[in-house]
Structure 1
Amino acid sequence: MTWNVHRPPLADGTTILVTGGNGGIGYFIAEQLASVGASVIIGSRSTAKASAAIRAISTRIPNAQVQHVLLDLTDIDSLPVAVQRLKVDSLDAVVLNAGIALDIPQRKENKRGHELMLATNYLGHFALVHHLAPKLTAAPAARIVTMGSFAARSEHLDLDDLQSERDYNPKRTYGRSKLAQMIFAFELDRRLRLLGNTCISVIAHPGGALDALTPPRGGVHQRSGRAHLLALPYKALLQGKDAGAWSAVRAVLDQDVQSGQLWGPRTLGLRGTPHLEKPKDHMTDPTTGSELWAATSSLTNSNPFAI
């Protein structure tokens, strides 16, 4: 079946959590899933931003089922309470999308002493999946969709300096945090299959998604006409964040998607409709995956889907 990004299949009766669904690519993932009937839960640490996102979605989709759960991935200790607030017995999918990219030269930490980008983009999601596992397993065939990044292609993890304590560079640290997410997702696939669990782990990435090429949404995203015009020459290679959401939406909804697959934009991995990609070897190496899992489990006191 040819996949139509503008007319995905209906998702009535499904419940999907999107972390960071209050803005950026996460907002458009939430909007597109709500447009086909999914009950969408926006996980966000900002009630005000989540409320603005819900209003924007409801304006475009009058019958949208969208709600907010307070979710702070930088605070691992708060996650059990956040999961309890979901008030659902089962969860059909979670999109691990929330993230931050710092460009300041000073390394920042959360209250546990974890480097902030790694903590938000990866460690928090690892712990969240741990706490969500019972709700995901309760669904017939739940999907855990991890949002990776094109930036991860050229990075390599230093497991001896996972938190960039010795060698901090904001751009590299961000890329490594996204690579850690992707390595985790491939390792999660291997573990789920060994367990015979019906959940699947799928990886998606948005390609090159620019604010200036993103359509406006009231209260969520505005763009100046000048910025949009200046960005038009880049449309040959890049796209807006609405299009950046397409890969994740397909990973959630396409019945032909399989566990352990990587989905990204068709044109050079940067723009276009989503297609199946071949991941880089350093993303799928089982030894690295196992070692990263052990290190992360120790840092977060969690172990997703452990027997």
Structure 2
Amino acid sequence: MIHRRCVGGRRNHGGRVAQGSSRSRLPQQGTPVTMSSTSSTPPWNVQRLPGADGRVFLVTGGNAGIGYFVAEQLSATGATVVLGSRNPAKAEAATASIRARVPGSRVRAVRLDLADLSSLETAVESLEVERLDAVVHNAGVALDDPPREETGDGHELMFGTNHLGHFALTQWLMPLLSAAPAARVVTMGSFAAKSERLDLDDLQSRKDYQPKRTYGRSKLAQMYFGVELDRRLRAAGSTVASVVVHPGGALDSLTPSRPPVHVRSTGARLSAAPAALLLQGKHAGAWPAVRAVLDPAVRGGQLWGPRVFGLRGEPRREPVWDHLADPSVAARLWDASCDLMGTDLSTISG
């Protein structure tokens, strides 16, 4: 478990999070196969996922975008999938869409606002499960223009939601994750983070706020957290593993329609055709996270992304980026995050 002092904060009024027993399948997924040992598992096929009956997965921001497709694809394996969403109406639409495409799916939603740290303990309690086999840290905010915004807790909105929110959520989820035989924390990073570097003296972008750069750095902070979390879990002998993934270049215009969650017009599809040579839709952007949850060959501390230039294609393991592999930066970010939240995640036991 993770020992904690406190998780506090004021209610957020301005943050926005951009996030039967029979086994069913998605039309594009094929028939699930039974997962066994690593040695007997067939080569990974995004169209033929292993079954996960009896397991429980949480997807933050599962009501839209890549998170929706992560939830949809995981639902086809027979697992119980919980969508974490701050918007009940959007969560209801997403669960209805998944149920329509995956008859018999076990999917439901809980209210989860990562920009409101004080609400996270209650959100975890509302899961009403005895264990959690995986969480996909996917929800996020991406602002395109100034001015700089803050959460109700006083943190820059993108850093506070994308990184600190998931950092704190992991704290509350750890007892449930530790109760599972081999749980996974899967952190959704971004290809945009590859060209960014953290300013540890200005994590909140108070001195120089540039929305796109701040977003990239918030995702990089998430990825540092995922890598550092696994180091600490391994040192503690925990059964929980932490894996970092990124979706490559995932565009709405290349994403198949899922009305009312997402509707792609004919014009958008045609205009995006040239981009398909290098980029992909959000349904494919979900593949690395889905593999990180399900594949027994995936290990903690690894980075997974699309096969072709890291931008599109089936998921593959890739080398951890040089700057992301710096343990001193990761440790300093961890300590700074604890200080910002008034939380102690320094001691983890399995």
- The answer to whether structure 1 residue 189 and structure 2 residue 230 are counterparts is yes
Q: Corresponding residue for 2:280?
A: 239
CA contact (8 A) 1:130 1:303 kept: no
- The answer to whether structure 1 residue 2 and structure 2 residue 43 are counterparts is yes
Query: Per residue, is there more helix in 1 or in 2?
Result: 1
User: Quick one: which amino acid aligns to residue 288 of structure 2?
Assistant: S
Whole-Å separation in 2 of the counterparts to 1:36 and 1:146? 20
Q: Which of 121, 127, 135 is matched with 1:80 structurally?
A: 121
Instruction: List runs of 5+ in structure 2 lacking aligned partners.
Output: 1-41
Pairing of 1:41-190 with structure 2 (within 5 A) = 41-190=82-231
Q: Corresponding residue for 2:75?
A: 34
Displaced runs of 4+ in structure 1, greater than 4 A? none
Whole-Å separation in 2 of the counterparts to 1:303 and 1:57? 38
Q: Corresponding residue for 1:223?
A: 264
1:120-173 alpha-carbon deviations (Å, 9 max, x no partner): 111000000001010000100100000010001000000000010001000000
Whole-Å separation in 1 of the counterparts to 2:298 and 2:274? 33
Query: Offset of 1:2 from its aligned partner?
Result: 1.6
Report % sequence identity: 61
Q: Corresponding residue for 1:284?
A: 325
User: Quick one: which amino acid aligns to residue 243 of structure 2?
Assistant: V
User: Quick one: which amino acid aligns to residue 220 of structure 1?
Assistant: V
Query: Offset of 1:303 from its aligned partner?
Result: 3.6
- Evaluate the alpha carbon distance shift between residue 245 and residue 139 of structure 1 in structure 2; reply closer, same or farther with a 3 A threshold: same
- The answer to whether structure 1 residue 211 and structure 2 residue 252 are counterparts is yes
Tell me the SS of whatever aligns to 1:274. Answer: strand
Across the aligned residues of Structure 1 and Structure 2, the Cα RMSD in angstroms comes to 0.8
1:194-222 alpha-carbon deviations (Å, 9 max, x no partner): 00000000011100000000000021000
- Evaluate the alpha carbon distance shift between residue 219 and residue 305 of structure 1 in structure 2; reply closer, same or farther with a 3 A threshold: farther
Query: Offset of 1:281 from its aligned partner?
Result: 1.5
Whole-Å separation in 1 of the counterparts to 2:74 and 2:115? 26
How many residue pairs are counted as aligned between the two chains? Answer: 307
Instruction: List runs of 5+ in structure 1 lacking aligned partners.
Output: none
Q: Corresponding residue for 1:250?
A: 291
Query: Offset of 1:298 from its aligned partner?
Result: 1.0
Query: Offset of 1:40 from its aligned partner?
Result: 0.2
- Evaluate the alpha carbon distance shift between residue 303 and residue 136 of structure 1 in structure 2; reply closer, same or farther with a 3 A threshold: farther
Tell me the SS of whatever aligns to 1:119. Answer: helix
